[in-house]
Amino acid sequence: MALLPRKDVVIVGYGAAAGPVSLELARAGQSVVALEAGAHRTAATDFHRGSLDTLRWRTRREMIDGRRMALTFRNAQSEVAAPWNGIYAMASTVGGSSVHWSGQSWRFYADDFRVKSALEERYGRSGRLAHLRADHAALEDWPITYDEVEPFYEKVEYALGIGGWPGNLGGRIRPVHPHEGNPYEAPRKRDFPYRPLRDNATDLVFREGALARGLQPFHVPTGVSMDGAWASTEGVRRPGCTYCSFCTGFGCWNDSKTSTLSALLPAAQQLPHFELRPHCYVTRINHRDGRAVSVSYRNENGVEHEQPGDVFILGAYSFQNVRLLLHSGIDGNGQIGKYFINRATTNLHAIFGHRLLNGWNGPSVQRQGVDDYNGENAMEQKLQLPPEQFFVRGAFIGSPSQRVPLESYDLHPPDVPSWGAAYKRFMSENLNRYMGLQLLTEAMPYEDCTLDLDPNYSDEYGMPYCRVTRSVKQNERRMAHFIWDRAKELVEAAGATKVWGERSATAIASSTHDLGGARMGTDPTKSATNRYGQLWSTPNLFVTGGALMPSLGGHNPTQTIWMLSYWLADALLQRKVRLDDSMAYT
């Protein structure tokens, strides 16, 4: 094994979780190396206009290395897990899944950081939470508040480039546009740096239905540059979106979509103290006497190397961070792998027989949405439900576009055959009249939803697979039914002539919103890390990204992952943590 020169900071992974902290520490003069398992793809070499190939990127998922998706799944602790035969969505590439994400970029609600307390305040004396207790929900507040992290959310929006309409600017609701911006968002101190993408016909029809139902629609905040070039606070310029439709699942050929690859790496590469090593598959964290001392990794030729360092940061995906910790014999006093959260899915499809929706025109994130049923915004309406239908929290409902052909071949109702003349007739008559809604339901953490090492499966280097145990509980099932019914009302109010879909919640292998497993907290008996992601058991080892999150929220978590990375960088640079004592933080 080749022993390499010591670095101040060793980072495992180079995606959303790793990008900000690596840039900030290297800018401060610390020697930083980022070890990324995937290849270094760029717009110039891999995502150019000649590569806009749905088969390559969306069907065959070239950015996703199946060898590295070492996962098995089961629905209960008593079952034997097995690998999933479907297609994963976690990219193995420099920039991670931020390269092929949709671009929806949200701040969490203030109450998303205090779910347990907020629910107890609202429902604790009513007996309405009995179903959560029966299913052993493991709710905990975050050890940080929205007010503390609001400046870091703002930093993401200006460093990476997030466009939108402000819904709550210092307590003023919809101050810039009277009919735009999310009126339910947590207060922001500063407006977005630019406006979101323009609406297409799909968005406008969705908006009509939402307004007819008395809801408050808005264009979602988007990490895709609008018309004209835009320059970030990092000095990185991105051109405006061309509305090409090759967006979610694709790297952006024009670098209009923000990502760690397009927005942060160009700035990091200008720094003498930053080094990126692609094709480096980390297999073990080596530790002695309660401290990490090095990591072992294999390069693209399978040759093993050892990289020593002073500070170690795990910035890979939740599954990989937990798997690496457990394989290295670091269980965080039994807390590593607990409280895993992933979304249970439901879906709704509609045909508008007398409207052309042009869903093929523009990226997926070119969408309107409503938050009227998200968080506890529909509390009064939910309290009218009978006890056996009541649920907590909620979902965002939105109107995605991007109907490229190879992604749209199966968008037909169950009474239409999947081949033959009737199939062709339906698709030719209705594909441009189709709308499929995003129902982004929130899931809770539970005691029996976990990540651990599978004793029956190992990869080529003898590293056990990560075993995922998850199931759909009462709250998720009730929520799915309620949200589906509200979405159906919305599209029918907009003029839908046919509606179908799956009203029940379904457990899926991975949604790219897979959180938990190394939960942050204040109590070492209930969490794996302190408020900065510093492991209680190993004070020079940090976790950042989705694995830290105690709760999920009804929005995409990417901006919160970037925010937590800036939060960690600030803690290290301002010496809010001590590298010899995880309890001695400020």
DSSP-assigned beta bridge partners for residue 12: 35, 314
The CA distance from 540 to 536, in Å, is 10
pLDDT at 575 > cutoff 90: yes
What does the pLDDT look like over 220-249, one tens digit per residue? 999 999 877 789 999 999 999 999 999 999
Q: Region 396-409: what's the mean pLDDT?
A: 88
Backbone CA torsion sign across 104, 559, 161, 180? positive
| Residue 350 backbone phi and psi in degrees, to 5 | -145, 150
Q: Region 433-443: what's the mean pLDDT?
A: 95
Q: Region 493-507: what's the mean pLDDT?
A: 94
The CA distance from 91 to 544, in Å, is 17
Q: Region 152-176: what's the mean pLDDT?
A: 97
* Homologous superfamily of the 2-573 domain (CATH): FAD/NAD(P)-binding domain (3.50.50.60)
Q: Region 476-489: what's the mean pLDDT?
A: 97
Apex 65 CA angle, 239 and 317, nearest 5: 75
Q: How far is CA 187 from CA 240, 319, 548, in A?
A: 28, 32, 24
Question: Residue 156 has what pLDDT?
Answer: 98
Question: Residue 306 has what pLDDT?
Answer: 98
What does the pLDDT look like over 541-564, one tens digit per residue? 999 999 999 999 999 999 999 999
* Contact between 450 and 469 (Cβ < 8 Å): yes
Written as one letter, the residue type at 9 is V
Question: Residue 511 has what pLDDT?
Answer: 67
- Contacts of 88 by beta carbon, 8 Å cutoff, 6+ apart: 61, 64, 66, 69, 71, 509, 510
The CA distance from 186 to 197, in Å, is 22
> What single DSSP character describes residue 444?
-
Q: Is the pTM of this model over 0.85?
A: yes
